[in-house]
């Protein structure tokens, strides 16, 4: 059995983003103690905490002919030999594979560590009629998406830290 978890560097970036948002929230509430600002900071904190928990729990496991996805919403499994279609959703910061058989589907994100290894394993084990769908995935595309996501998280962290210091210094 092979288990794929969220990329460690991405997980560390998310932890740093969460901690920097806590600092920003503290500075914002300390500067302006009104209920509206506290509510906005609480929503931001809960959203980022949900994403962090989701990243910690999510995993994809491959056992013989079966791909299983476990996340906060539950578990789903799909047999590779029964795949009828593989869709690729190309977002700005990640790629999502949609593996579907006649009865269900599973979303696999490029945020998982060793995503390229997973895609290559799929290329070897899926039926011939769905293999051409995976040809769209390239090393360059996956690397570019991960770099953009890291950059986005770093920019968010920098924004929270700089804004937090600004709020504390200009109280």
8-state DSSP, 170? T
8-state DSSP, 80? G
What integer pLDDT is reported at residue 8 of this predicted model?
92
Q: What is the pLDDT of residues 81-135, one digit of tens each?
A: 888 888 999 888 889 999 998 888 899 999 998 888 888 888 888 888 888 888 8
What integer pLDDT is reported at residue 137 of this predicted model?
87
Supply 170's token pair.
């200009």
Per-residue pLDDT for 147 more than 70? yes
Q: What is the pLDDT of residues 31-89, one digit of tens each?
A: 776 777 788 888 999 999 999 999 999 999 998 889 999 999 899 999 988 888 889 99
What integer pLDDT is reported at residue 33 of this predicted model?
67
pTM of the model: 0.85
């Amino acid at each position: 059995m092979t288990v794929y978890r969220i990329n460690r560097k991405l997980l560390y970036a998310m932890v740093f983003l969460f901690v920097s948002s806590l600092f920003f929230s503290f500075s914002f509430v300390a500067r302006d103690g009104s209920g509206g600002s506290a509510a906005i900071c609480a929503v931001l904190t809960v959203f980022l905490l949900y994403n962090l928990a989701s990243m910690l729990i999510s995993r994809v496991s491959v056992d013989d002919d079966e791909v299983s996805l476990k996340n906060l919403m539950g578990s789903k499994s799909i047999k590779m030999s029964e795949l009828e279609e593989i869709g690729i959703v190309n977002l700005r910061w990640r790629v999502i594979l949609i593996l579907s058989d006649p009865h269900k589907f599973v979303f696999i994100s490029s945020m998982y560590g060793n995503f390229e290894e997973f895609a290559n394993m799929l290329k070897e084990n899926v039926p011939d009629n769905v293999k051409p769908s995976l040809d769209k995935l390239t090393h360059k595309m996956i690397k570019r998406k991960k770099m953009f996501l890291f950059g986005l998280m770093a920019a968010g962290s920098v924004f929270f830290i700089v804004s937090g210091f600004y709020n504390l210094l200009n109280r």
